[in-house]
Amino acid sequence: MTGGARHPELRAALMSAVAEKAPKVDRDRIAACYDFTASAHGDQKRESGQPYVSHSVEVCRILLDLLESRLDTTLVCAALLHDVVEDTGITLEQVEKQFGREVASLVEGVTKLSRVHFERREAQEAENFRRMLLSMSRDLRVIFIKLADRLHNMRTLEYLRPDKAKRIAEETRDIYAPLAHRLGMAGIKREMEDLALKVLDPGAYAELAGSIQIKRSEREAFLEQVGELLREGLRASGLKAEVIGRPKHFFSIYHKLQDGRTLDQIYDLFGLRILTHSRNDCYRALGVVHDLFTPVAERFKDYIATPKSNLYQSLHTTVLTENGEMVEVQIRTWEMHRIAETGVAAHYLYKQGGTVDEELDQRLGGFVTQIAGWQRETDDDEYMDFLRTALHQEELFVYTPRRELKRLAKGSTPLDFAFLIHSEVGQRTVGARVNGELVPLRHELRNGDMVEIITSPQAQPHEDWLKLVRTTHAKAKIRHWLRQRRLDDSVALGTEMLDRELKRLRIKPTPEALLEIAKGLGCEDLATLHARLAEGSVSIGQVTHKFEPRKDTFAERLVKGPLEALGVGRKPAGGVLIQGIGNVMVQFARCCQPVPGDPIVGIVTIGRGVSVHRQDCPNTFGHRVPAERRVTVDWDARPTERFPVRLALQGSDRAGLLADVAKVIQNLGVNIRTAGMQSEDHTVRGVFVVEVPHIAKLREVIDAIRRLPGVQRVERRQRTPRSDGERGDAEDV
């Protein structure tokens, strides 16, 4: 990074913005980070024609506006570097070496897995959101960077191709703006939504901007009058408070118009806001407002006593003026105002390094814990479903019989309420009373309802319940319960089946011996073995015959005889059972390399016994193999047997990667038969052949490699039919 900084004007702009707003940060470090970033992006340009690094600088400026003096050096560095790993040849390891672990892990949290291959775009998007939100649950700074990044991209959307701009605008409207809203960052949310609307419905946007301009000039004098009356009233009662107008938000007005309302019916189009210095003054100011004007009773809301779950606090009241016009007035302290605009960012403290403590999570309605919880309990489609629902829910407040206030999603039913109280209560629900009246479980709750749940020890959840609940919390609990019960049922049945058979055969195995057999059959533990026995994917015979030495049956001798006579068997039978009989010449296909636990199929080959393939191996597909040559085979491996598997790996080129991979494999007690690596353009590709006893072990190996820094993907390599010079199994078939 010698020979003068790139784009010195951008560097100067960044440094002066930092000096002005966040004087406490380490400016030398930030300057060094700027130089590193500018040099990494080199001559890359944004679609606007600006140098790429201008985007990184703008992201920092947005963060400066958001956090001001609370912005820390780590966050500025990570914001500058946020695109370096995704868009340049720099690796995370290099970032870590230069700027430390903390900066690197923030950059990792915002970097998309764009180079990993996914079957469907939805799966890739879900995985990216999952990763991002998991990082966010550990460190809020990840989401600050991501939202600032997206906001600047939205500000420069006009330079993109229309279809791409539209896709980004939709994603912003559907996920990022709601996420900003959920975290209480109203300023960012408003701007994102208005920018999205401008792209997604330009006609409506222009029309709205025009008609709001007209409305405003009509209402301006009137609002000024009301404001002046309020100011006088507040002064007269000795209150120090300011009365101001409210910023307009096109998207929310657009939304209300879409609901069929007209501009005249939207009376909070231009409202007033009173800002005070204490919570007490808010209520005193409310008294002043209601003294001067007649309040509309059902429009009053006290979000100070009951803050929204995005930390928002304010008093809302709508009043009627003398000539019958309605005006909405919001009352809050300056501090509440700051929180209403920046949400969790207002709570961010550098000393906590962006972690969300229990208290903040509780104030957010448990949002962060929820997000971390779905990581375990959902597949990709469910995850996006949960995320969308959680982000778009409006709130509803109801009471317990003891008058405790509970927060639910709009549209919730008594069942949602029951699961909110406790999972045990939810699972045992048989009925509910709302305001003293018995209601069906699908009954939609309303604000202020008092809900009482009727339970029975015999009750239990049912599939249909999924249709009766609205909250992601209840849905997740019910799904979990149903899944668990299915598993419990299978385990109980499988245990009984196996015990009965072992008793009949007078076999008393030790738990350790049974566990070894389970693993040989591709089950990670005994419960899994029992469940598989119940489902029928593992047969009882596969387990019991391990305990009794068997004699060849007549049929077996018949099958084995001719093959041995031909002298073609390479390996005595082992590893599988063929159609219930043991000891036939088998070989394991080299194209797909099956491992105990994989679903398999046997193909009778000419002169070489039976070739065992994975069921999804293309070499076994119908057009390649006639049905009469297929035989059913089951796994029957001894724990000591080892099976070769080819693994393909891709990662960033860094020193010691090969050694690290070899080390983690060996640490798992797995032998490496061959290994090789090649690198090109900062990317390294490798192929390993490892020898494993069963699929559970193979999964451990793959997971361990995947966790190594720099590894982008690792997978089992399927050899395509006749794809290389080696004599493949296509010939054996």
Q: Which stretch binds Mn ion (CB under 5 A): 78-86, 168-176, 312-320, 383-391?
A: 78-86
Q: Of 86, 174, 516, 641, which is the active-site residue?
A: 86
Least Å from the CB of residue 110 to Mn ion: 8
Phi and psi at residue 599, in whole multiples of 5°? -65, 130
- Does 341 sit near Mn ion (CB under 5 A)? no
Q: Give the count of beta carbons closer than 10 Å to the beta carbon of residue 25.
A: 21
Least Å from the CB of residue 104 to Mn ion: 17
Question: Closest CB to Mn ion among 139 and 149?
Answer: 149
Site string for Mn ion, 126-165 (x = CB under 5 A): -----------------------x----------------
Instruction: Return the SS3 of 726.
Output: coil
Give CA–CA dist 496/525, Å, rounded.
16
Q: Which two tokens stand for residue 374?
A: 């779905």
Chain residues 559-618 in contact with Mn ion, contact rule CB under 5 A:
none
Question: Closest CB to Mn ion among 58 and 328?
Answer: 58
Question: Closest CB to Mn ion among 152 and 428?
Answer: 152
Q: Of 87, 96, 125, 171, which is the active-site residue?
A: 87
Question: Closest CB to Mn ion among 83 and 102?
Answer: 83
Least Å from the CB of residue 55 to Mn ion: 6
Q: Give the count of beta carbons closer than 10 Å to the beta carbon of residue 486.
A: 11
End-to-end CA distance of the chain: 60
Q: Pick from 348, 612, 378: which is nearest to 479 by CA?
A: 378
With CB under 5 A as the contact rule, the residue among 72, 83, 281, 328 that binds Mn ion is: 83
Q: Which residue sits closest to Mn ion, CB atoms considered?
A: 149
Q: What is the dihedral of CA 712, 717, 721, 723, to 10 degrees?
A: 60
Q: Which stretch binds Mn ion (CB under 5 A): 62-70, 79-87, 121-129, 360-368?
A: 79-87
Q: Pick from 97, 181, 105: which is nearest to 147 by CA?
A: 181
Active site residue 394: no
Question: Closest CB to Mn ion among 78 and 223?
Answer: 78
Q: Which two tokens stand for residue 96?
A: 């870590």
Pairing of strands 451-455, 429-434: antiparallel
Q: Give the count of beta carbons closer than 10 Å to the beta carbon of residue 176.
A: 25
The partner residues of 581 in beta bridges, in order of sequence, read 578
Q: Give the count of beta carbons closer than 10 Å to the beta carbon of residue 674.
A: 10
Least Å from the CB of residue 18 to Mn ion: 19
Instruction: Return the SS3 of 145.
Output: helix
Question: Closest CB to Mn ion among 37 and 472?
Answer: 37
Give CA–CA dist 383/198, Å, rounded.
29
Q: Which residues contact 712 (CB under 8 A, 6 or more apart)?
A: 113, 115, 116, 650, 651, 652
Active site residue 395: no
Counting residues that bind Mn ion (by CB under 5 A) gives 2
Least Å from the CB of residue 347 to Mn ion: 25
Least Å from the CB of residue 487 to Mn ion: 43
Site string for Mn ion, 693-712 (x = CB under 5 A): --------------------
Least Å from the CB of residue 420 to Mn ion: 38
Give CA–CA dist 123/687, Å, rounded.
26
Give CA–CA dist 639/515, Å, rounded.
10
Least Å from the CB of residue 26 to Mn ion: 23
Q: Which stretch binds Mn ion (CB under 5 A): 77-85, 282-290, 625-633, 703-711?
A: 77-85
Question: Closest CB to Mn ion among 153 and 605?
Answer: 153
Question: Closest CB to Mn ion among 112 and 629?
Answer: 112
Q: Is 474 exposed, middle or buried (0-12, 13-18, 19+ CB in 10 A)?
A: buried
Binding site for Mn ion (CB under 5 A): 83, 149
Which residues are part of the catalytic machinery? 86-87
